[in-house]
Amino acid sequence: MKFLMYEDVPLFLGPASKADGNEGDFIFAADASISISQPSVPRRSIDDNKIRICQFNNGGTYPFASPNFTASSSHTACFGPTSGPPKSLSTSIYKIPKDTKITFPGGKHLYFDHDVFPNGYDYLARLRSESGGWQLSESEAQSGYFEPIFNYAAGGPAAGTLDVTFYTNTGNLPSFFNVTGMSSPTQFPPIDEDKITGHLGDFKFSDAYLKSFKFSVSPNSIVAASASFDIYGALVKDETLSQNYYSTGLYQQKSIAHGETSTIIGTTKLGVDHAVSFSYGIDVERSARYEIGNSIPTRVSKRATTITMSINGNNLDPSLITDAVDNRRANINIYLRDLNYDNFDENSNGLLNVFNCSGVVESQNLSVSSNGYLNGSISIKQHLK
């Protein structure tokens, strides 16, 4: 038995349109989870757990005649209503295992003497008696109950999610974490609906689409970001995927965004003179089109793209919330920086990225508690696309 340690399970993401994912990156992730599910529905048909025997022969002659059952005797039974014509076993049944018991009225039992996989043409089966000295009447033979193993159908395509918490570690946000980013500068119309691929450990996934990207900044803390992807398609295990990742840049020194140097501009107009923490998130609605014959979508469209920000500080401006929406407009810029060491050899980049939110104030909140200060918080939402 082997359980893999955190450091032995790399997360790799890359645009699917690039050959072999060479343009992708190993992600410096704090945690990652991937899940795939597919709905299934049982195939059930009326009275498919009920056996009706119309004759104990090959179904070619009538009238009904019950054998005199003896211990360990086998008999060919033809299924169907009294007097026929025979009716095949229901195809809602996947399998009737050998030795499945059929219970008839009066404490009488017969057992299937072989496995049966109904295919729509099963009129006959061999049944076995484990006791002797009894017969089945014509009406008793119509009321046998048993417990088969039923068939299932896929109710829809396989789909899942990849959730990852990670540290932004370069000056450029890779396109697969950038909801509004373009994988190709010449793309027109300028809507990037490209999918990404990747693997978590040795488990490869494909047809993943970014749904949301979020991060929060607070004093004296590194900035942790999170992203969520919709995944269409099944997981594939490939034990060669993570063999060589130790030689990649994953273990090189990282430059990580930090709350000590990151700044937010534009809160004073909203009544927050001193912002103590803030968060930023961008979400996009996606919708998939599945064409007949395919189990992965032909297109996963982008719909509404929304930016939400939350700022905590020392104060707020109560006059903002009015019926006049124009009074509630906000324009915030976030400058994400790393610790900005003097020596570039220390892998310092300074400014990593700028995020903007130009929306309206949606809500305000004041709170105070014992041993604390009065805090104001404000939420802003921008409908981007």
Closest CA to 99 of 115, 86, 76, 88: 115
CB of 217 to another protein, least distance (A): 31
* Contact indicator for 108, 136 with CB cutoff of 8 Å: yes
Which residue number, 42 or 219, has a Cβ lying nearer to another protein? 42
Please give the structure tokens belonging to residue 221. Answer: 């803390």
Sheet architecture: strand order including 101-104? 50-51, 144-145, 101-104, 108-112, 124-129, 73-79, 53-55
Please give the structure tokens belonging to residue 141. Answer: 């033979």
Which residue number, 182 or 304, has a Cβ lying nearer to another protein? 304
CB of 50 to another protein, least distance (A): 8
Which residue number, 88 or 331, has a Cβ lying nearer to another protein? 88
Question: Is residue 210 exposed (0-12), middle (13-18) or buried (19+ Cβ within 10 Å)?
Answer: buried
CB of 380 to another protein, least distance (A): 23
Which residue number, 124 or 241, has a Cβ lying nearer to another protein? 124
CB of 106 to another protein, least distance (A): 18
Please give the structure tokens belonging to residue 63. Answer: 């009238």
Which residue number, 107 or 155, has a Cβ lying nearer to another protein? 155
CB of 310 to another protein, least distance (A): 26
Dist. CA 271–CA 378, nearest whole Å: 10
CB of 133 to another protein, least distance (A): 26
Which residue number, 76 or 331, has a Cβ lying nearer to another protein? 76
Which residue number, 55 or 310, has a Cβ lying nearer to another protein? 55
* CA distances for 124 relative to 28, 51, 75, 82, angstroms: 62, 11, 10, 15
Dist. CA 78–CA 385, nearest whole Å: 66
CB of 57 to another protein, least distance (A): 8
Closest CA to 93 of 145, 147, 39, 144: 147
> What sections of 112-209 are H helices per DSSP?
none
* Contact indicator for 176, 13 with CB cutoff of 8 Å: yes
Which residue number, 87 or 214, has a Cβ lying nearer to another protein? 87
CB of 213 to another protein, least distance (A): 20
Site residues for another protein per CB under 8 A: 41-48, 50, 52, 57-64, 76, 78, 80-88, 90-92, 114, 119-121, 123-124, 126, 138, 142, 153-157, 189, 191, 287-293, 295, 298-304, 385
Dist. CA 15–CA 203, nearest whole Å: 17
- Burial pattern 161-184, b for ≥16 Cβ within 10 A else e, equals ebebbbbbbeeebbbbbbbbeebe
